[in-house]
A and B are shown apart, each in its own frame.
Chain A
Amino acid sequence: MTPRSPLLMAPALAWLTGLMVVPCALVLALAFFRRGIYGGVEYTFTLENFAQVFDPLYAGIFLNSARIAGTATLIAVVIGYAAAYAIAAAPRHRQPIYLFFAVLPFWSNYLIRTYAWIVLLNREGLITQLLRSIGYTGEPPSLLYTEGAVIAGLVYNYLPFVILACYAPLSRLNPELAEASRDLGGSAFTTFRRIVLPLTLPGIAAGAVFVFVLSIGNFVTPALLGGGRFQMIGNLVYDQFLTANDWPFGAALSMVLIAIMMLLLTLQAFASERASGRATAREEAA
C-alpha cells in the first residue's frame, strides 16, 4: 500500500507548494527589497521595511489595532466560554443541535454578517427605533463608525469559533473531578478556578489566538463598521498593495502579522502543555 501513497498525495502537494508555499516565500523575500521610485520593486537588499514598521506612525496603528483586537478577543472569550459552558451542561442529546446552531452563522458570508450590523446600528436602525419606541425623541445616537461598532462586529463574527474551541475541552471534562473538589470542601468558585478553568485553558487559548490574529489582520470590518476611521494591520497591508503601491512594506507588514500569529500559537501550545501536565498530575492525585 505504502508505495502508492506519495503518488496520491503528489497533485495536492504540488498545488499547495506552487500556489501557497512559493507565493508566501516570495512575499517574505519581497519584504527585504527596496520600493522602486515609481512603485514596483527594486531588487536591492534592505531592512528598511521592517524598520518602517516601528516608525511611530505605524507603531501607533499597531498598538491601536492590538487594543481593538484585544478588546474584541476578551469579550468574545467571556461570552463564548459562557455559551460553551451552558451547551456542555445541557442534556447530552441536545448538545449537537445547540452546537450546530452556534456555529452555523460562522459558515455564512462574512460580509453579510458584518452588513447586518450596519442595518442594526445605522442612524435609522433597529436600536434607534427601539429607543424611539420607549419615548426617546432626541438625535439618533451615533453608533455606527465607532470603535465600539468595529469591536461588536469582530466579536459577532468570531464568537462561534470561540464557542467551538471552548466546547471541546468542556465536554470532555470528567464530572467526577468537580464532584471530588466539592466533596473536599471547595466552593463552586474554587472548583471552577482550580479544576475547570485550568483543564479547559487550552481551548480558551486556541480560541483567543485565532480571534486576535483574525481581528488584527482584518480589513473588512474596520472599513465597513468603522467607516475607515480605524485602521487595523489588515487595512495597512491592503493600502500598501492596492493604493500606496509599496509592496515591499506591505510584505513586511504581513510577515509581522504571521510572526505575531506564530508567536501566539507557540505560547498557546506551551501553555496548554503545561496545563495538561498539571491537570494530569491533579487527576492522578484525585
Chain B
Amino acid sequence: MNRAILIAVFAFLYIPIAVLIALSFNAGGLPTVWSGFSFKWYASLAGNNDILSAALNTLIVASVSTAIATLLGTLLALGVEMRKKRGSALEALIFAPMIIPDIVLAIALLSFFSMLDVTMGLHTIVLAHVVFNIAFVCSVVRARLKSFDWSITEASADLGASAVTTFRRITLPVILPAVIAGALLAFTLSVDEFIIAYFTAGAGRASTTLPMQIYSMIRFGITPEINALATIVMAVSVVALTISQRLNRGVVGQ
C-alpha cells in the first residue's frame, strides 16, 4: 500500500518533467511528437541572442544578489543567535520575506520605486532579490548556529585572540558549510524567480531575465527550444541544490 502510494506520487511529480526533458532531445520540429534523437535544439539555443542576453542578465542578478544576501544574511544570523533574548517582532521581520506572497512584494516594490522616481533595471531586481535571499541564507546559517557552543569563542577571547581572529579561526570554519549551502540556495532562488523580477525590471528588453524570457516564449506556445532551455535551467537548479543539501547534511551529521 505504502509502496504503491510512493510510486504513484513520484510518477505524478516526475513524469511531466521527464516528458519535457525527453522532448528536448527530439529531432522533429513538432514539440510533442517524437521523431528521433538530436541535440539540435540545444545548438539552436546557443544561436539565440535573446536567450543568451537574458541568461547573462540572470547570471548578473543572481550572482550580485547572492553575494550581498550571503554577507548580510550571515551577519544577521550571527547577530540573532548571539542575543540572549528572543524578540517575536524580530523573528517576524526575518521570517516575513519567506511567507509574503510574491505578488505583494512585487507590487510593493514597483510602487516604491516609481514613487521615488528610481529608474528600474537589473539593479532594482538585485535590490528586490536580496530581500528574500537574506531570509533564506539567515535561516540556513541559524540552523547551524543552534548547536554552536558560544563558550569556545569566549575561551578564544580569554586567550587573547581579537574578535576578527576568533571569527576567522573559530566561528567561520564551523558555519562555512551552512554559509555556502545558503548561498547556493539563494542563487537558485534568484535564478528561478519570475514574479518580483517581472515587476521590478522596468520597461525595455535590456533587463529581461531568463524566467521573463521563458514566460514570454511560453505564452507564444510550445517550441522544442523551450524544452531544451527548460532542461538546462532545471539541471542547473538540481545540481546547485544537491550540493547545498549535501553541505547541509554534513552540518546536521556533526
A26 within 8 A of partner (CB): yes
CA distance A5 to B83 in the complex (A): 6
Using CB atoms, name the residue of chain B closest to A98.
B6
Asked whether, in the complex, the Cβ of B107 is within 8 Å of the Cβ of A254, the reply is yes
> In the complex, are the beta carbons of B80 and A9 less than 8 A apart?
yes
Give the CA-CA distance A89 to B191 in the complex, in Å.
35
Of all chain B residues, the one with the shortest Cβ separation from A128 is B32
- Residue A125 CB within 8 A of the other chain: yes
Contact B5 A86 (CB under 8 A): yes
How distant is B99 from chain A, measured CB to nearest CB, in Å?
8
Quick check: is B131 within 8 A (CB to CB) of the other chain? Answer: yes
Compute how far the CA of A213 lies from the CA of B101 in the bound complex, rounded to whole angstroms. 8
Query: A150 CB to closest chain B CB, in angstroms?
Result: 15
Q: Is the CB of B72 within 8 A of A11?
A: yes
A109: contacting residue among B97, B150, B154, B233, CB under 8 A: B233
Tell me, in angstroms, the Cα distance from A119 to B222 when the chains sit together: 7
Interface residue A244 (Cβ < 8 Å from any Cβ of B): no
CB of B206 closer than 8 Å to a CB of A? no
Asked if A20 contacts B154 (CB within 8 A), the reply is no
CB-based contact B234/A11 at 8 Å? no
Q: Would you give the shortest CB distance from B241 to chain A, in whole angstroms?
A: 5
Residue B161 CB within 8 A of the other chain = no
In the assembled complex, B163 has its CB within 8 A of some CB on chain A: yes
Once bound together, how far apart are the Cα atoms of A214 and B115, in whole Å? 27
Asked if residues B82 and A112 are in contact (CB atoms below 8 Å), the reply is no
Q: Is A201 an interface residue (CB 8 A)?
A: no
Task: Please determine whether A22 and B112 come into contact, CB atoms closer than 8 angstroms.
Answer: yes
Chain A: CB-nearest residue to B114: A247
Interface centre among A107, A122, A258, A261 (most CB of B within 10 A): A107
Contact between chains at A156 and B109 (CB < 8 Å):
no
Given contacts A104-B241, A116-B16, A120-B19, contact A24 B104 (CB under 8 A): yes
Within 8 Å of chain B (Cβ to Cβ): is A159? yes
Known: A111-B211, A122-B222. A89 touches B2 (CB 8 A): yes
Complex: how many Å from CA A213 to CA B14? 25
Question: Which of A8, A11, A125, A237 has the most chain B CB atoms inside 10 A of its CB?
Answer: A8
Q: Give residues of chain A (241-283) contacting chain B, Cβ–Cβ below 8 Å.
A: 241-242, 247, 250-251, 254, 257-258, 261
Q: Are A19 and B127 in contact (CB under 8 A)?
A: yes
Is A101 located at the chain interface by the 8 A CB criterion? yes
Q: Is the CB of A8 within 8 A of B112?
A: no
Interface of B is mostly: helix
The residue in chain A whose Cβ has the minimal distance to the Cβ of B245 is A100
Of A7, A115, A119, A234, the residue contacting B103 (CB under 8 A) is: A234
Chain A nearest CB from B13 CB (Å) reads 5
Quick one: which of A109, A115, A120 contacts B237, CB cutoff 8 A? A109
Query: Number of A residues whose C-beta is below 8 Å from B?
Result: 83
**What 0/1 pattern do residues 8 to 33 of A give for CB contact below 8 A with B?**
11111101110111111011001000
**Minimum CB–CB distance for B72 against chain A, Å:** 4
Q: 11 A-B residue contacts at CB 8 Å?
A: A1-B150, A2-B83, A5-B82, A6-B79, A19-B127, A90-B2, A101-B10, A102-B13, A109-B230, A120-B15, A242-B199
- Interface of B toward A, CB cutoff 8 Å: 1-3, 5-6, 9-10, 12-17, 19-20, 23, 30-33, 71-73, 75-76, 78-80, 82-84, 93-94, 96-97, 99-105, 107-112, 115, 127-128, 130-131, 134-135, 138, 150, 153-154, 163, 188, 191-192, 194-195, 199, 211, 214-215, 218-219, 222, 226-227, 230, 233-234, 237-238, 241, 245, 249
| 5 tightest Cβ-Cβ pairs between the two chains A and B | A8-B79, A9-B79, A12-B76, A23-B108, A23-B112
- Interface residues of chain A, those whose CB is within 8 Å of chain B, are 1-2, 4-13, 15-17, 19-24, 26-27, 30, 79, 82-83, 85-87, 89-90, 96, 98, 100-102, 104-105, 107-120, 122, 124-126, 129, 156, 159-160, 163, 210, 213-214, 217-220, 223-224, 234, 237-238, 241-242, 247, 250-251, 254, 257-258, 261
Extra 6 A-B pairs, beta carbons < 8 Å, given A98-B6, A108-B17: A12-B76, A27-B104, A86-B1, A87-B6, A102-B13, A159-B13
